Structure 1
Amino acid sequence: MNEKAMRKSRWITTVFLIIIIGITYLSAMITKFNFIDGIATLPKALSWIFANLWITQETWERLPAILGKLNETIFMSIAATTLAAIISLFLGLMGSKTTKVNNVFSMLARLIASFSRNIPVVAWSLILLISFGQNSLTGFLALFVGTLGFLTRAFIESIDEASQSAVEALQATGATYAQIVNKAVIPQSLPQMLSWILFMIETNIRSATLVGILTGTGIGYTFDLYYKSLNYNAVALVTFTIVIAVIIIELISNRIRKVIL
């Protein structure tokens, strides 16, 4: 029986790999992508990078201005994530099977999560750009809407995974809805929720760079400005500061996760 199951597993894996290879080949044919030509251009691309993306002494003088824009991007990402987390908590409670008030609110919460989550942040930026123009509000709203959908979905799953025994015990004692949420649901779900919030802060800082290019704000706008003016030394410094900032924030997030989980 075990040998038969192993043969079946190998057969399924083989078929799956063949399908993946076929889809990859078909995609390359449709897009006219040549893997060999792509590999051949790598030396030239790397040569250009090493020749142009150098941080010079003159470029370092721009660091204070760049750090100012980077701080703007970081704080905007944190603010958008925080506000989205607060609203997502209520939507998560409404959408979860454990804490839902009724099916209508549950379906509405899940619909909001699905709608905002399945549209990329870049698409939200372009949509909101038409209405609000190029400003910080547009970037903030784009990050907020995308985060709202993701966190609502994550919070719903976190609440659904909470132990039902504590909820049922409180219900048996006649506890109110608020007491059940505060005493049984939130304490169990909070560590996982905080982990998701930290993850979204990291993600939004990365996304905010691209959003800034579209909305004319933050470090993304600075990157775009230097790139269009062909100031590649400044582009290298902007890229360096973004990478360092993301690494530092990721290290801090990982440390916090180890404490709360």
Structure 2
Amino acid sequence: MEAVGGQFFRRRSLSIVAVFLVFVIANALAGGYVGFDFVASIADIPAGIAWMASNFVPSVESFEKIGQILSSLGSTVLVSIAASCTAAALAFVFAVLGSRSVGIGGPVSVAVRAIASLFRNIPVVAWAFILLFSFKQSEFTGFFALFLTSFGYLTRCYLESIDEVSGGSVEALRATGAGYFPIVAQAVVPMSITSVISWVLYMIETNIRDATLIGILTGTGIGFVFDLYYKSFRYDIAGLVIVMIVIAVIVCEAVSNYVRRQII
């Protein structure tokens, strides 16, 4: 018995070492192909940290722009919440229709999953570039880019949640002769509502971070303010923008975690 156990742990250790070696070799080959010098990059880290510490630290003068920063940050947060909530409502409807347990089935289920996969796998930055040609630089462009990515991601998450939690309840209601809408209202919604809210809160957190980058592309929100002062070499104000974004994300995450604890 001890010999078998020793062989198992030996094989496992060899497997871990082999995976590590493959990772190191792949990293070395990829770095060599693109000309990336890992040792030189590590050596440059202290200088990079020192430069950021001396340039991106907010100064007293930078706080004169706090009103503009807070206004733009509030706009970004509201757009992120609006995009997330709108996408969540439509994603839930599509997820119910495409679900294996309560969905319509057939081509509808295939189409819902295909649309969700398409929207989810196109990065939000790519959506922003695509939409810029149609809607130009505007708040709606940022909203639409966040909405499309959120819709695809949430639809996929809701499909899995509904299929996992509603199977037994759906079968029980069908056995009693309940119709489609009563089944959705009495089985799907109550059983999946906790997961739905949790995913919406997570999406809002993610979109607030993504909206900063989207704002740089669309010329709106806190991303535009950061880009403006960064390109103007006002790194102290750009640093203050970063600090406010971090604070907003932390506050949002704290609220999200509190709500999750209350509903779970």
TM category, shorter:
over 0.9
The residue aligned with 1:248 is: 251
Displacement of 1:18 in angstroms is 2.4
* Alignment match of 2:29 (pick from 26, 30, 46): 26
Displacement of 1:56 in angstroms is 1.8
Q: Secondary structure at the match of 1:230?
A: coil
Work out the CA distance in 1 between the residues paired with 2:232 and 2:219. 15
Q: CA offsets per residue over residues 35-54 of structure 1, 9 Å max, x none?
A: 11001111211111121112
Displacement of 1:100 in angstroms is 1.3
Q: Aligned pair count?
A: 261
* Alignment match of 2:223 (pick from 177, 200, 220): 220
Q: Secondary structure at the match of 1:99?
A: coil
Q: Secondary structure at the match of 1:41?
A: helix
The residue aligned with 1:107 is: 110
Work out the CA distance in 2 between the residues paired with 1:100 and 1:13. 43
User: Counterparts in 2 of 1:75-114, with a 5 A limit?
Assistant: 75-114=78-117
In structure 2, the CA distance between the partners of 1:184 and 1:5, relative to structure 1 (3 Å rule), is farther
* Alignment match of 2:167 (pick from 157, 164, 173): 164
Tell me which stretches of 4 or more aligned residues in structure 1 moved more than 3 Å: 1-12
The residue aligned with 2:130 is: 127
Matched, 1:198 2:201: yes
Matched, 1:238 2:241: yes
Displacement of 1:165 in angstroms is 2.0
Q: Quick check: 2:162–2:192 contact (8 Å CA) kept in 1?
A: yes
Work out the CA distance in 2 between the residues paired with 1:119 and 1:54. 35
Q: What's the % identity of the aligned pairs? A: 44
Matched, 1:10 2:9: no
Displacement of 1:7 in angstroms is 4.2
Work out the CA distance in 2 between the residues paired with 1:3 and 1:153. 43
In structure 2, the CA distance between the partners of 1:5 and 1:159, relative to structure 1 (3 Å rule), is farther
Q: Secondary structure at the match of 1:101?
A: coil
Q: Secondary structure at the match of 1:127?
A: helix
Displacement of 1:9 in angstroms is 3.4
Q: CA offsets per residue over residues 97-124 of structure 1, 9 Å max, x none?
A: 1111122110010001100000100111
Q: Secondary structure at the match of 2:165?
A: coil
User: Counterparts in 2 of 1:143-182, with a 5 A limit?
Assistant: 143-182=146-185
Q: Secondary structure at the match of 1:61?
A: helix
Displacement of 1:172 in angstroms is 0.6
In structure 2, runs of 5+ residues without a counterpart are: none
Q: Quick check: 2:216–2:227 contact (8 Å CA) kept in 1?
A: yes
The residue aligned with 1:63 is: 66
Q: Quick check: 2:166–2:192 contact (8 Å CA) kept in 1?
A: no
- Structure 2-normalised TM-score? 0.95
Letter in 1 for 2:46: P
In structure 2, the CA distance between the partners of 1:162 and 1:42, relative to structure 1 (3 Å rule), is same
